[in-house]
Amino acid sequence: MADASDIETATLGHYLMRRQIGRGGMGKVYLADDQRTGQAVAVKLLSTKLAKSPTVVERFHREAQAAADLDHPNIVRSLGAGQEKGRHYFVMEYLDGETLRERVKRSGPLPESEALALCDKVAMALEHAAEHHIVHP
């Protein structure tokens, strides 16, 4: 796989990477095109530094499997996982739109009713995950 400087043209399996859309403790998340379906997806890619640790790789794949076991309208769907050329990744549905941070920056604090409705959805998603023995730090 190409490095981040030319990620727009990099492929991983049948996913064509377009751009970075997020990052976390284990790696980066990219917007990509599934070349088989034409669908936009999010690809979470384990960092090459962390991929040197078998323990971290195992934890990454357990996370991917745990995500695949969840089916809830307030949790992004997992679409699969894989490894290619030493790069470990898992694929999720891509939800287009603005983040809560972007929304608050654009419009200021949410109205109380909207904030409570959002909190309710998050609580339902967390409850579903907890029922499947999944706790996100």
Q: DSSP secondary-structure letter at 64?
A: H
Q: DSSP secondary-structure letter at 85?
A: T
pLDDT digits (tens, 9 = 90+) for 78-92: 999 989 888 899 999
Question: Does one domain contain both 66 and 25?
Answer: yes
Residue 109 main-chain phi, psi, to 5 deg: -55, 145
Show the tokens assigned to 112: 């109380």
Question: Does one domain contain both 91 and 102?
Answer: no
Question: Does one domain contain both 45 and 106?
Answer: no
pLDDT digits (tens, 9 = 90+) for 4-55: 445 644 888 899 999 999 998 889 999 999 999 999 999 999 998 999 999 9
Average pLDDT, the chain: 89
- What does the pLDDT read at residue 4? 47
Looking at per-residue pLDDT, the higher value among 119 and 135 belongs to: 119
Distance CA 39, CA 130 (A): 30
As a whole-number percent, the residues of the chain with pLDDT over 70 amount to 92
Question: Does one domain contain both 77 and 131?
Answer: no
Sheet architecture: strand order including 11-12: 11-12, 15-23, 27-34, 40-46, 87-93, 78-84
Question: Does one domain contain both 23 and 51?
Answer: yes
Residue 67 main-chain phi, psi, to 5 deg: -65, -40
Question: Does one domain contain both 70 and 127?
Answer: no
Question: Does one domain contain both 28 and 88?
Answer: yes
Question: Does one domain contain both 19 and 47?
Answer: yes
Question: Does one domain contain both 74 and 109?
Answer: no
Q: Please state the domain count of the chain.
A: 2
Tokens 């190409």 correspond to what residue?
2
Question: Does one domain contain both 91 and 45?
Answer: yes
Q: Where are the beta strands (DSSP E) in 13-134?
A: 15-23, 27-34, 40-46, 78-84, 87-93
Question: Does one domain contain both 17 and 74?
Answer: yes
- The answer to whether 47 touches 28, Cβ cutoff 8 Å, is yes
Residue range of the domain that includes 14: 4-96
